[in-house]
Every structure is written in structure tokens, then in C-alpha cells.
């Protein structure tokens, strides 16, 4: 039960201190949609930046991309999403609530595109004995049915040229359809990856636990292209890299584990898949997917090559040859327009893909929950967020002890000197102890106080968030001191 209280505490801190608000709250809120407040937006920016730094900036073999959310409908036909991206659900005849069949069986996984209605029902056991999670009625379900997860919208202003388009359910497909563009415009050579961070949308049947599973969310995905036969090596490589990323950003080791998917659990495109799971504080503590690392084989590039070929045939049948973008005359699909000529191997092939796919919002929740702490200090409860410095929304807060004797001027000038380097906060209101506590709750690693001694010897007090230790540092050395401590 303590775990459950912890999630509630985090949710309440997030609202109280401006990390996360419910969307459209003054209108009663919109279910499973959230807005990031002043502290939340900084935290989320830092999570994104940490991912980008590790996956793109620090590597020679990964480049970035930023694709549109709306894409040609044929992209989703070729990828399989238009036909297969669905959950198998039942509806309670008593209260009309829809529930995923696999969730009735106790599962909590992501979308079940690869599970047929029969398989999902078999896994759930007899529906006659299952209870509706909303009203508790037993065995009052409709027959299982498919529920499409993609949001549809219309594109185009004129009635005769409007077209049905979808909001992307994953960012990955933007990368696959730009594979050729990236090859032709850069000097990348296999093995290499293309990374992207962006919004995805899924009309989830069951949303869950604050920002854990929402209908609009942000993904950070890498598609790493490699030669078939080397895929197992790169799968292991990325599995470890991604696990270490969470550890290096402060997630406690005991709260993180791998879960390898069983063969009958694998998505239709995957040869192997492992989840990095985090022990989230739902119920009495729940291991849940934080990120998936999948071996997608050559499935996606092959599918898009096939999709282009179908489209080209259609243009040919209409005599409209100018519309054909990449001609595909190869007999062997390994030699088609999305294949790669490996100069070192003197061989042409469709690359295999290893895909680490993380959720920015879900990681943000894990970082919040893991950093949250409460401790007793002099008979009072101190709430704090023990964020890794790279993730802390504010790196340093600067205070004058009192609003007189020239202290605000000195504190302001330190603040002005530091704010160009990292996010800082200036505060001169209220007792200094209360200002420290507010920064503890925001997860600020350092507070700097200008006091009477500053005018005498040019030193300031530096207080550490985690230990509450205070030391005196020369004001003109503060920048160097913080840069070193923050690793910047
Ligand atoms: N391209 C592969 C893919 O999309 P996924 O397992 O469906 O795989 C990857 O999603 C990650 O995206 C998940 O591990 C999770 O972190 C995040 N994610 C997926 N659905 C989500 C949702 N409804 N709300 C929040 N995050 C979600």
C-alpha cells in the first residue's frame, strides 16, 4: 500500500508545484491528456536532451530526423497499421465499459496488434467468469471485437479533395520512409541509425496511472540499420545501452529489469523483443514496460518497397509515369530501391533494423517516482526530488538572505552570470528555510545564499539538496564550482 500512496504523493506534488496539470482542467479536464507546467516542461526537455545526447550527439553512427505527424495514408497500409493496429476488446452489457481482453486476463502490456480475437479470448480464459473492472458485473460481456487504435482526421479544404489521414501511432515509420533520403543526402554507412523524438497518438482503450498510458504521448525512437547476420550483436548492444541510460540518470538498479518476450508474444514484424521494465508504484508495485528494444528484421523497408511498387503499377496503368518517384525494376527484392549496396561486403541487401523505442512521458514518470523522497528533519517532513543533475528542472537557485544591505544586488548579479549557462531561479521572498524547502520539492541540486559575510569576505553559502550540507565558496568561483558539480 505504501507504493500506491507514493504515486498519489507524486501526482499531488506535480500539481502543487507546477510539473503536470490535467489538460483543459477548467472545463472539467480531458481524460488521459496532460499539460506540462513550468517545472514539468524543463524536466521533460531535459529527458529529451539526455536521450538525444546519448543516442545521437555522442555517437558517430546515428543521425537525427524530425518528421511530420501526418503522413501519406499508404505509409500505414504498407506498415500494417491500417489493417492490424487494433486491440481485441469486449463491452460490458451492464455498464457499456470497453475493456481489452488481454487486460481481463491480468495482462498490462501495450497494444495487441499481433493477437487475434481467438488467441486473446483463449488467453483470457472463459469470459463467463471474468469481472468487469468498472462495475464488477461477472460474465456480462459482448463477443470480442477489434478496436482500431489510430485517430482519424480529414485533410484538405475542399469537399472533393479531402482525404482521410491518421495521426501517427509511432514515430518509426517517418524514419523508414526517409531511409533513402538520408542515405542520399549524408555519408552514413551501415551500420548506422536514424533517431527521432516526437508526438504519437493512440486511441487507447485503457488509459492508466497519470502519464503512464495516455492517448497523446511522446516517443523517442531509434531505427538502427545493420547487415543481416549482425543483427543479434546490435540487438545485445542496444539492449545494454538503453538499460544503462536509465541507470546513469539515477534510476535505482533494484527498480529496473529486462523482460524478454516469449515467441508467441512477438509483434508481427519482430524476430526478438525485450522490454526494459520499471517497478512502477501502481497497486502493490507493478513491473511495467518503460521501453522496448525490438529486432524488426527487414520487415518495414521491405513493406515500403512493396507499397511503392503497388503505387508505381497504379500510375503505370494510368499512363502517369511522371508521378513515379523511385522506379523499382529489380526482380529480386533484395536489390530494390530501399536496398543498400555495402561497399565493404560488395553485396546488396535490405538492412535489418534494431529499434529501441522509449516513451518520453513514461520515462519522465519513472524519473519522478524514483527521485521522490520524504524524510524527517527536525520533526518536520521534508519532501524532495533527488533528480540527477542533468534532469533537474532548475540547476541552481540564488537567494539574498534578506532584502536589504545590498544583498539582492549581489545575488542578482550572480543569477545573471549563471542563467546563460543553465536554468536558474532567483527568490528573495520569505524565510530562507522555506525557500530551501521549495527548491527541494522542485529537485534543485544547489541553492546559493548571499548573506552578511558575503560583503566581508566575498563568499556565499552553497547548500546541497540531498545532504543539506552547507559550505562557503568564493562568489567569483561559483560558476566554475557549479559547472564541475553539474558536469557541464
Ligand atoms: N515503434 C515501436 C513502438 O511504438 P511500443 O511498445 O508500442 O513500440 C514504445 O511503444 C514505447 O512508447 C513504450 O515502451 C512506451 O514507453 C511508449 N508508449 C507507447 N504507448 C504509450 C501510451 N499510450 N502512453 C504513453 N507512452 C506510450
Pocket probe for ligand 1: among 80, 81, 109, 110, the residue whose CB has the most ligand atoms within 8 Å is 110
Q: Is the peptide bond preceding residue 410 cis, with omega within 30 degrees of 0?
A: no
Non-local (6+) Cβ contacts of 320 within 8 A are none
- Residue for cell digits 529496473? 256
Q: What's the full length of the chain, in residues?
A: 488
Distance in Å, CA 406 to ligand 1 centroid = 53
C-alpha cell at 109: 502490456
Q: For residues 258 and 104, give the distance between their C-alpha atoms in angstroms, rounded to a whole number.
A: 24
The residue nearest atom 24 of ligand 1, judged by CA position, is: 213
- The Cα angle at residue 179 between residues 177 and 183, in degrees rounded to 5: 150
Distance in Å, CA 203 to ligand 1 centroid = 12
The residue nearest atom 8 of ligand 1, judged by CA position, is: 357
C-alpha cell at 414: 550572480
Q: Which atom of ligand 1 is nearest to the CA of 215?
A: 23
Residues with CB under 6 A from ligand 1: 110-111, 170, 172, 202, 204, 213-214, 217, 219, 221, 289-292, 355, 357-359, 361-362
Confidence (pTM): 0.90
Pocket probe for ligand 1: among 359, 364, 366, the residue whose CB has the most ligand atoms within 8 Å is 359
Q: Are 24 and 154 in contact (CB under 8 A)?
A: no
Q: Are 206 and 103 in contact (CB under 8 A)?
A: yes
Distance in Å, CA 357 to ligand 1 centroid = 7
The residue nearest atom 18 of ligand 1, judged by CA position, is: 359
Distance in Å, CA 31 to ligand 1 centroid = 18
Distance in Å, CA 221 to ligand 1 centroid = 10
Q: Are 378 and 437 in contact (CB under 8 A)?
A: no
The residue nearest atom 16 of ligand 1, judged by CA position, is: 359
Distance in Å, CA 110 to ligand 1 centroid = 7
Distance in Å, CA 200 to ligand 1 centroid = 9
Q: Which atom of ligand 1 is nearest to the CA of 169?
A: 4
Q: For residues 214 and 88, give the distance between their C-alpha atoms in angstroms, rounded to a whole number.
A: 18
Distance in Å, CA 176 to ligand 1 centroid = 18
Q: For residues 193 and 188, give the distance between their C-alpha atoms in angstroms, rounded to a whole number.
A: 9
- The Cα angle at residue 153 between residues 216 and 117, in degrees rounded to 5: 70
Please name every residue paired with 358 in a beta bridge, in sequence order, or none if there are none.
220, 291
Kind and range of the H or E element at 10?
Answer: helix 2-16
Distance in Å, CA 219 to ligand 1 centroid = 7
Pocket probe for ligand 1: among 193, 211, 357, the residue whose CB has the most ligand atoms within 8 Å is 357
Distance in Å, CA 138 to ligand 1 centroid = 31
Pocket probe for ligand 1: among 195, 219, 270, the residue whose CB has the most ligand atoms within 8 Å is 219
The residue nearest atom 4 of ligand 1, judged by CA position, is: 170
Q: Which atom of ligand 1 is nearest to the CA of 204?
A: 23
- The Cα angle at residue 344 between residues 338 and 346, in degrees rounded to 5: 65
Distance in Å, CA 158 to ligand 1 centroid = 35
Q: At what angle do helices 38-52 and 360-371 cross, to 10 degrees?
A: 110
The residue nearest atom 22 of ligand 1, judged by CA position, is: 213
Closest CA to 57 of 197, 174, 226, 200: 197
The residue nearest atom 15 of ligand 1, judged by CA position, is: 359
Q: At what angle do helices 360-371 and 2-16 cross, to 10 degrees?
A: 110
Q: What is the mean pLDDT of each run of 10 residues along the chain (488 residues)?
A: 68 96 95 95 98 98 98 93 82 83 68 56 71 84 82 85 91 98 95 98 85 96 97 98 98 96 84 96 84 97 90 78 70 84 94 98 97 94 96 98 95 97 97 96 98 96 97 96 94
Three-state SS at 214: coil
Distance in Å, CA 198 to ligand 1 centroid = 12
Pocket probe for ligand 1: among 32, 112, 113, 217, the residue whose CB has the most ligand atoms within 8 Å is 217
The residue nearest atom 6 of ligand 1, judged by CA position, is: 292
Amino acid at each position: 500500500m505504501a507504493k500506491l500512496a507514493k504515486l498519489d504523493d507524486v501526482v499531488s506534488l506535480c500539481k502543487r508545484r507546477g510539473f503536470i496539470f490535467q489538460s483543459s482542467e477548467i472545463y472539467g479536464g480531458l481524460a488521459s491528456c496532460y499539460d506540462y507546467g513550468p517545472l514539468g516542461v524543463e524536466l521533460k526537455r531535459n529527458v529529451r536532451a539526455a536521450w538525444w545526447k546519448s543516442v545521437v550527439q555522442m555517437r558517430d553512427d546515428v543521425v537525427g530526423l524530425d518528421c511530420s505527424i501526418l503522413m501519406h495514408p499508404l505509409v500505414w497500409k504498407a506498415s500494417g497499421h491500417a489493417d492490424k493496429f487494433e486491440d481485441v476488446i469486449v463491452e460490458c452489457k451492464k455498464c457499456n465499459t470497453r475493456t481489452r481482453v488481454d487486460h481481463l486476463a491480468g495482462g498490462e502490456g501495450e497494444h495487441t496488434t499481433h493477437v487475434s480475437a481467438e488467441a486473446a479470448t483463449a488467453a483470457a480464459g472463459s469470459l463467463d467468469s471474468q469481472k468487469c473492472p468498472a462495475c464488477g458485473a461477472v460474465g456480462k460481456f459482448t463477443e470480442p471485437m477489434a478496436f482500431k487504435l489510430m485517430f482519424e482526421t480529414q485533410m484538405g479544404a475542399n469537399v472533393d479533395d479531402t482525404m482521410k489521414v491518421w495521426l501517427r501511432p509511432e514515430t518509426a515509420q517517418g524514419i523508414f520512409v526517409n531511409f533513402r533520403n538520408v542515405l542520399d543526402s549524408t555519408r552514413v554507412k551501415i551500420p548506422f541509425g536514424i533517431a527521432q523524438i516526437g508526438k504519437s497518438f493512440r486511441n487507447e482503450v485503457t488509459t492508466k496511472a497519470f502519464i503512464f498510458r495516455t492517448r497523446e504521448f511522446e516517443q523517442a525512437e531509434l531505427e538502427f540499420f545493420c547487415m543481416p547476420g549482425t543483427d543479434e550483436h546490435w540487438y545485445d548492444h542496444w539492449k545494454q545501452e538503453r538499460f544503462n541510460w536509465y541507470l546513469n540518470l539515477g534510476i535505482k538498479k533494484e527498480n529496473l529489469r529486462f523482460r524478454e518476450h516469449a515467441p508467441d508474444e512477438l509483434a508481427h514484424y519482430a524476430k526478438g523483443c525485450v522490454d526494459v521494465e520499471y517497478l512502477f508504484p501502481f497497486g502493490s508495485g507493478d513491473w511495467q514496460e518503460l521501453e522496448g528494444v525490438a529486432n524488426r528484421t527487414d520487415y518495414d523497408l521491405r513493406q515500403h518497397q512493396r507499397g511503392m511498387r503497388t503505387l508505381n503499377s497504379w500510375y503505370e496503368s494510368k499512363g502517369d509515369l511522371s508521378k513515379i518517384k523511385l522506379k523499382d525494376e529489380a526482380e529480386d527484392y533484395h536489390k530494390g530501391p530501399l536496398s543498400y549496396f555495402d561497399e565493404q561486403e560488395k553485396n546488396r541487401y535490405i538492412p535489418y533494423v534494431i529499434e529501441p523505442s522509449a516513451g518520453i512521458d513514461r520515462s519522465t514518470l519513472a524519473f519522478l517516482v524514483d527521485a521522490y523522497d520524504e524524510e524527517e528533519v527536525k520533526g518536520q517532513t521534508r519532501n524532495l526530488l533527488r533528480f540527477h543533475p542533468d534532469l533537474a528542472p532548475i540547476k541552481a537557485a540564488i537567494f539574498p538572505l534578506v532584502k536589504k544591505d545590498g544583498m539582492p544586488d549581489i545575488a542578482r548579479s550572480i543569477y545573471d552570470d549563471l542563467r546563460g549557462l543553465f536554468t536558474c531561479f532567483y527568490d528573495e521572498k520569505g524565510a530562507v528555510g522555506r525557500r530551501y524547502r521549495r527548491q527541494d520539492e522542485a529537485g534543485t541540486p544547489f541553492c546559493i545564499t548571499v548573506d552578511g559575510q558575503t560583503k566581508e569576505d566575498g563568499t556565499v553559502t552553497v547548500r546541497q539538496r540531498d545532504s543539506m550540507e552547507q559550505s562557503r565558496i568564493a562568489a567569483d568561483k561559483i560558476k566554475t564550482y557549479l559547472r564541475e558539480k553539474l558536469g557541464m
